[in-house]
Amino acid sequence: MGKAAQPALLQGTLDLLILHALRRGAMHGYAIAQTIHLLSEEVLKVEEGSLYPALWRLELDGAISAKSGLSENNRKAKFYQITRRGEKILADQEATWERLSAAVSRVLAG
Amino acid sequence: MQQSIEDELAFHREMAASHDDSIPLGNTAVIAEHGYDLWRFNFLENLWRDLLYAARGLRRSPLLVLAALVSLGLGVGVNATMFSLGTELLFSQPSVRDAGSIVAIRFSGNSHSPHQVLDFLAASGLLTDVVGENEEVISNYNDGKETRPVFSVLTTKNYFTGLGIPVLYGRGIAPDDPDEVAVLSYAFWRQHFGGDPSVVGRTLNLDGRMCTVVGILPEHHRTLIGFGYSPEIYMPRYLDSTILAIYGRLKPGMSIPAARAGLVAVAKRMDQAIPVDYQYEQGLEVSPVAGYARLKYESDTLAMAVFFALLLVVTGLVLLIACVNVASLLLARASARRREIAIRLAIGASRGRLLQQLLADSVLLSVLGAAAGLALAEVSAQGLARIHLPVPIPIRLQISPDWRLAVYGAFLAALSMLACGLLPAWRALKESIAHDLNREKKMRLRRALVAVQVAISVVVLTTGFLFLRNLLHASAISPGFDVVHTIRANVNLPSAGYGNSQEKYAYIDRVVNSLAALPGIESAAAARVMPFNGGTHFLVDLKFPDDGQKQRARFDWNAVTPGFFQTLSIPMLQGRSFAASDRGQHAVVVNSEFARQFLGGRQPLGTVFLWGADGKTPYRIVGVAAVTKMLTIGEEPKPQLYEALADIDNDRREIEFVLRSAIPPGLQLEPVRRTLHNIEPMAGAEVHTVYSSIGLAFLPSQVGALLMGSTGVLGLLLASIGLYGVMAFSVARRTREIGVRVAIGASRADIARMVLGDSARVTLGGIAAGLLVAVLVTKPLAMFLVPGLKPGDPVNFLVVALAMFATALAATWGPILRALKIDPASALREE
**Which of A34, A47, A52, A81 best probes binding to B when mutated, by most B CB atoms within 10 angstroms?**
A52
Across the range B541-561, mean pLDDT stands at 87
Q: Give the lowest-confidence range in A89-93, B29-33, B677-681, B792-796.
A: B29-33
Cross-chain residue pair A47–B349, CB shorter than 8 Å: no
Contact assessment for residue A93 and residue A54, using Cβ atoms and an 8 Å cutoff: no
Across the range B241-258, mean pLDDT stands at 90
pLDDT of residue B301: 66
Give yes or no for B348 touching A (CB within 8 A). yes
Res. B521 pLDDT band, cuts 50 70 90: very high
Give yes or no for B669 touching A (CB within 8 A). no
d(CA B24, CA B465): 76
pLDDT of residue B792: 83
Give yes or no for A62 touching B (CB within 8 A). yes
Question: pLDDT by residue for chain A (110 residues), tens digit each?
Answer: 444 445 566 667 899 999 999 998 999 999 999 999 999 888 888 888 889 989 998 988 889 998 888 888 888 889 999 998 899 999 999 998 999 889 999 999 98
Q: Which residue has the higher pLDDT, B167 or B548?
A: B167
Give yes or no for A71 touching B (CB within 8 A). yes
d(CA A8, CA B283): 90
Beta bridge partners of B643: B559, B588
- Domain containing A24: what range? 11-109
Shortest CA distance from B18: residue in chain A: A73
**Mean pLDDT, chain B, whole residue set:** 84
Facing A52 at nearest CB: one of B35, B347, B350: B35
Give yes or no for B495 touching A (CB within 8 A). no
Cross-chain residue pair B3–A68, CB shorter than 8 Å: yes
Q: Which residue has the higher pLDDT, B226 or B360?
A: B360
Q: Which of B285, B247, B255 is nearest to B121 (CA)?
A: B247
What number of other Cβ atoms are within 10 A of residue B287's Cβ?
14
DSSP B212: E
Please check the confidence at residue B139 and state whether its pLDDT lies above 90.
Answer: no
- For B539, half-sphere exposure in the C-beta direction (CA atoms, 13 angstrom radius) is 2
Q: How far is CA A80 from the centre of its chain?
A: 11
Across the range B274-291, mean pLDDT stands at 78
Cross-chain residue pair A48–B18, CB shorter than 8 Å: no
Cross-chain residue pair A52–B8, CB shorter than 8 Å: yes
Instruction: Give how far B420 is from chain A: nearest CA, Å.
Output: 28
pLDDT of residue B157: 93
**Which of B13, B14, B15, B356 best probes binding to A when mutated, by most A CB atoms within 10 angstroms?**
B15
Structural domain contains residue A68: yes
Shortest CA distance from B37: residue in chain A: A53
Contact assessment for residue B401 and residue B382, using Cβ atoms and an 8 Å cutoff: no
Percentage of chain B exceeding pLDDT 90: 23
Helix B403-433 with B437-476: angle, nearest 10 deg:
150
Structural domain contains residue A6: no
d(CA B223, CA B217): 11
Which residues have CB under 8 Å from B370's CB, separation 6+? B72, B76, B409, B410, B412, B413, B416
Residues on chain B touching A29 (C-beta within 8 angstroms): 8, 11-12
- A63 three-state secondary structure: coil
pLDDT of residue B25: 63
Instruction: Give how far B26 is from chain A: nearest CA, Å.
Output: 7
Q: What's the pLDDT tens digit per position in B776-807? A: 888 888 877 877 788 888 888 999 999 988 98
Highest mean pLDDT among B51-60, B617-626, B816-825: B617-626
The count of structural domains within chain A is 1
CATH code for position A50: 1.10.10.10
Q: What's the pLDDT tens digit per position in B51-69? A: 888 888 888 878 778 888 8
Give yes or no for B42 touching A (CB within 8 A). yes
Instruction: Give how far B45 is from chain A: nearest CA, Å.
Output: 12
Cross-chain residue pair B26–A84, CB shorter than 8 Å: no
Q: What are phi and psi of B657, to 5 degrees?
A: -110, 140
Q: What's the pLDDT tens digit per position in B412-426? A: 888 887 877 887 777
pLDDT of residue B276: 74
Across the range B19-29, mean pLDDT stands at 71
pLDDT of residue B339: 74
Cross-chain residue pair B8–A77, CB shorter than 8 Å: yes
Give yes or no for B3 touching A (CB within 8 A). yes
Residues on chain A touching B12 (C-beta within 8 angstroms): 29-30, 48, 52
pLDDT of residue B509: 92
Q: What's the pLDDT tens digit per position in B443-490? A: 777 788 888 888 988 988 888 888 888 888 887 778 889 888 999 998
Give yes or no for B524 touching A (CB within 8 A). no
pLDDT of residue B337: 74
Give yes or no for B340 touching A (CB within 8 A). no
Residues on chain B touching A84 (C-beta within 8 angstroms): 347-348
Cross-chain residue pair A47–B26, CB shorter than 8 Å: yes
Res. B155 pLDDT band, cuts 50 70 90: very high
Cross-chain residue pair A68–B1, CB shorter than 8 Å: yes
Cross-chain residue pair A47–B42, CB shorter than 8 Å: no
**Which of A1, A42, A60, A71 best probes binding to B when mutated, by most B CB atoms within 10 angstroms?**
A60
pLDDT of residue B167: 93
Q: Which of B239, B224, B208 is nearest to B92 (CA)?
A: B224
Facing B8 at nearest CB: one of A29, A60, A85: A29
d(CA B80, CA B649): 52
Res. B433 pLDDT band, cuts 50 70 90: low
d(CA B372, CA B416): 13
The angle at the Cα of B828, spanning B827 to B829, to the nearest 5 degrees, equals: 90
Q: Give the lowest-confidence range in B79-93, B147-161, B522-536.
A: B79-93
Shortest CA distance from B42: residue in chain A: A60
Give yes or no for B36 touching A (CB within 8 A). no
Give yes or no for B352 touching A (CB within 8 A). no
Kind and range of the H or E run holding B351 = helix B351-386
Q: What's the pLDDT tens digit per position in B189-221? A: 999 998 888 999 999 999 888 999 999 999 888
Q: What are phi and psi of B550, to 5 degrees?
A: -110, 145
Across the range B577-596, mean pLDDT stands at 90
Please check the confidence at residue B544 and state whether its pLDDT lies above 50.
Answer: yes
Give yes or no for A65 touching B (CB within 8 A). yes
Please check the confidence at residue B626 and state whether its pLDDT lies above 80.
Answer: yes
pLDDT of residue B207: 84
Instruction: Give how far B426 is from chain A: nearest CA, Å.
Output: 21
Rounded to two decimals, the ipTM of the complex is 0.85
Beta bridge partners of B538: B555
Cross-chain residue pair A78–B2, CB shorter than 8 Å: yes
Please check the confidence at residue B273 and state whether its pLDDT lies above 70.
Answer: yes
Please check the confidence at residue B96 and state whether its pLDDT lies above 70.
Answer: yes
pLDDT of residue A4: 42
Contact assessment for residue B718 and residue B321, using Cβ atoms and an 8 Å cutoff: yes
Cross-chain residue pair A47–B12, CB shorter than 8 Å: no
Instruction: Give how far B348 is from chain A: nearest CA, Å.
Output: 5
Res. B390 pLDDT band, cuts 50 70 90: low
Which residues have CB under 8 Å from B643's CB, separation 6+? B557, B558, B559, B560, B586, B588
Percentage of chain B exceeding pLDDT 70: 93
Residues on chain B touching A49 (C-beta within 8 angstroms): 24, 26, 30-31
Sheet (strand A27-28) strand order: A27-28, A76-82, A64-70
Give yes or no for A106 touching B (CB within 8 A). no
Res. B183 pLDDT band, cuts 50 70 90: very high
Pairing of strands B245-249, B102-106: antiparallel
Contact assessment for residue B827 and residue B738, using Cβ atoms and an 8 Å cutoff: yes
Contact assessment for residue B59 and residue B324, using Cβ atoms and an 8 Å cutoff: no
Please check the confidence at residue B336 and state whether its pLDDT lies above 80.
Answer: no
d(CA B207, CA B492): 10
Q: Which residue has the higher pLDDT, B335 or B467?
A: B467
d(CA B461, CA B459): 5
Query: What are the distances in angstroms from CA A67 to CA A71, B47, B275, B631?
Result: 12, 23, 83, 71
Q: How many CB pairs under 8 A join A and B?
A: 70
- A67 three-state secondary structure: strand
Kind and range of the H or E run holding B753 = helix B748-778
d(CA B763, CA B756): 10
Res. B407 pLDDT band, cuts 50 70 90: confident
pLDDT of residue B277: 66
d(CA B327, CA B448): 12
Residues on chain A touching B18 (C-beta within 8 angstroms): 73
Kind and range of the H or E run holding B287 = strand B285-288
Give yes or no for A81 touching B (CB within 8 A). no
Instruction: Give how far B330 is from chain A: nearest CA, Å.
Output: 27
